[in-house]
Chains A and B, each alone.
Chain A
Amino acid sequence: MSDQESSSGEFERQMVPESKLLGPSKFWGMYAGEHCAGTEFMIGPLFLGAGASLGDVVLGLLIGNILAVLTWRYLVVPIAMAKRLTLYYQLERIAGDDLVKLYNVVNGVLFCFLAGAMITVSATAVGVPLGVEFAVPDDVFGLGSPNFSMLVLIVGAVITVIAAAGYQMVAKIANIAAPWMIIVFAASGIISLGRMDVDSMDKLTSGAYWDEGIAFVKQEFVDKSEQLVAQGEQILAQGKAWLGDAGEDNPAAQAVVQLGEQTIAQGEAIQPPVFTFTHIMIFAWLCNGAMHFGMADLSIFRFARHKASGWAPAIGMFLGHYMAWIAAGLLLAAQIKLTQDTTADPGKLAWGALGWTGILCVIIAGWTTANPTIYRAGLAFQGVLPSCSRVQMTLLAGIVATFAGAFPNLSAKLLDFVGTYGTVLGPMGAVIFVDFYLMKRFGLQSEYAANSGKSNPAVLIAWLLPVCVGLYLIFQQGVFAAYCVIPTWIACGVLYLVLSSMAQRGNTAQPAKAS
């Protein structure tokens, strides 16, 4: 492993030198822009759509976001400032080059899906003036209308080409847009309150406007359930009548009876969604699990001169993940009150409250965050295939993201996706945590791959086993995805320690090289 400074001057393979360290203001600015994304317009309404009460949202987000900031400050920053290396290089020193390549592929693919959701959000806004409706199909892998799919392709193509050209210009526009966007997010909430006639403090604190929205959403589920049960009973009655006429052995009549019973069971299975305080708090804490528990932000905080920089994520959390989510939730509450439409279509929601400013905000927020995400995915893919150019890999990432964005369920199930994202990538942070704090205390060799020159299978097993269990719980048992982040993180850390202890017993690892 070479410890040369990269040609880009980003210190990918060496410690950040003292002269390049940055003060806290740089981090505050960066986090403010990073967490006011187009997807915030999607997540806020999803809370209301999932049936979360306003009190739970306000308090759950407050506590969850505080916990997220504390995790950044006390988990990521101490390691980042002690090592001053990127996540990738630290992983390479612990696990070896091959595992980092695997991690890069997984990371790149998940980045593509995230960018896909941002493309979908931007497409909903472009669709408003063109009269293209956004509808979420029942089937998880169902496409939207042909017009909407076409719009996603066009928006995705534009974003991809710009990302491939380098994202300096987009970063500049993002900086210009950031203060404006924050004000527009806040304005969307204020105007929504006005549209719901919330013109006094009493009305504001009563939360009746939000409760009405939840009641309407829940009633939709009850209506759908009753409709299916009634349909099933009708089919069942017809089947039984047919059985009476044609005889008990008639297979066609039996099939109709079976269909009726199945339809009734389907109807009875439909329950109004439940989204509690715990769901909200854990989601707010762990929706960026890959960044703090997963240590991806080591790559950012390695530049921090002072520990106080670790408080900078607070601005992103409390503007983007608190104010913006609540404001976006209010957009849906107003839409339900005024039009009885429960569709969480970011473009239409923003258009209703803010007009063209809202459309611009959704497009710019989606675009300015999808671009760096595609760019990062391209870099992750390039890490696996270094012989390919960055432009080629960014185009590949953009194609995957655009393809993913054509499936509206990806953005409609964003709460589950970001939880899954944290469950998959978060545990890798436990390996870094254990390697930094515990390996030497247990008499084990830290940075095993760098010091022994061999790859470290303990990391691979410790990562994959808990992640597989977590994915099984999420996809097969229906566990809320964000709930799996911390258990998989702890399991990965413990497994890494135990497996390293077993693997290194009797192993003659070489003395540590200077990093």
Chain B
Amino acid sequence: MKPTLIIGLLALLIEAGAPLLYVTGSLGLDACKVAMLVATIVWFGAAGVMNFAGAGKQA
């Protein structure tokens, strides 16, 4: 698998995992929000790179 895809999937995993950690009490709400924001930025970055690279190859 391409590194960007792995990074993107990891970001989604963090996005989904942070709220679960918050509910179980392992993570504070502010830390959860920060983790989700970082994961969001990473996801859009990775997905953007994959999309851009895909479009570049097609061109």
Contact = CB atoms under 8 A, between A and B. Distances in A.
Interface residues of A, number: 21
Contact of B23 (A179, A184, A193): A193
Interface string B35-57: 01100100110011001000000
A354 B33 contact: yes
B11 to A, nearest CB: 8
Contact of A191 (B12, B32, B48): B32
A184 B12 contact: no
A179 B43 CA distance: 10
A183 interface: yes
Contact of A357 (B23, B25, B40): B40
A219 B24 CA distance: 32
Interface in A148-197: 172, 176-177, 179-180, 183-184, 186-187, 190-191, 193-195
B12 A183 contact: yes
A199 B25 contact: yes
Interface string A94-118: 0000000000000000000000000
Given A180-B15, A183-B15, A199 B23 contact: yes
A356 interface: yes
Contact of A187 (B16, B24, B47): B16
B16 A186 contact: yes
A137 interface: no
Contacts of B36: 184, 187, 354-355, 357
A333 to B, nearest CB: 15
Given A179-B12, A180-B43, A355 B23 contact: no
Contacts of B44: 176-177, 180
A190 B23 CA distance: 7
A180 B22 contact: no
B29 interface: yes
B47 A176 contact: yes
Nearest to A190: B19
A187 B48 contact: no
A184 B11 CA distance: 12
A356 B37 contact: yes
Nearest to A186: B16
B37 A191 contact: no
A356 B33 contact: yes
Nearest to A193: B23
A183 B19 CA distance: 10
B20 interface: yes
A455 B29 CA distance: 63
Contacts of A360: 40
A194 B23 contact: yes
Contact of B19 (A176, A179, A187): A187
Contacts of A184: 15, 36, 40
B25 to A, nearest CB: 7
Contacts of B51: 172, 176
A177 B23 CA distance: 25
Contacts of A357: 15, 33, 36-37, 40
Contacts of B47: 176, 180
Contacts of B23: 190-191, 193-194, 198-199
Nearest to B22: A194
A176 B48 contact: yes
A395 B44 CA distance: 29
Contacts of A180: 12, 15, 40, 43-44, 47
Given A176-B51, A199-B25, A187 B37 contact: no
A176 B40 CA distance: 11
A28 B32 CA distance: 31
Contacts of A354: 33, 36
Interface in A330-383: 354-357, 360
Contacts of B48: 176
25 contacts: A172-B51, A176-B48, A179-B12, A180-B12, A180-B40, A180-B43, A180-B44, A180-B47, A183-B12, A183-B15, A184-B36, A186-B16, A186-B19, A187-B16, A190-B20, A191-B19, A191-B22, A191-B23, A193-B23, A194-B23, A198-B23, A199-B25, A355-B30, A355-B36, A357-B33
Interface of B: 12, 15-16, 18-20, 22-25, 29-30, 32-34, 36-37, 40, 43-44, 47-48, 51
Given A180-B43, A186-B16, A191-B23, 10 more contacts: A176-B47, A180-B44, A180-B47, A183-B12, A186-B19, A187-B16, A187-B18, A187-B19, A193-B23, A195-B29
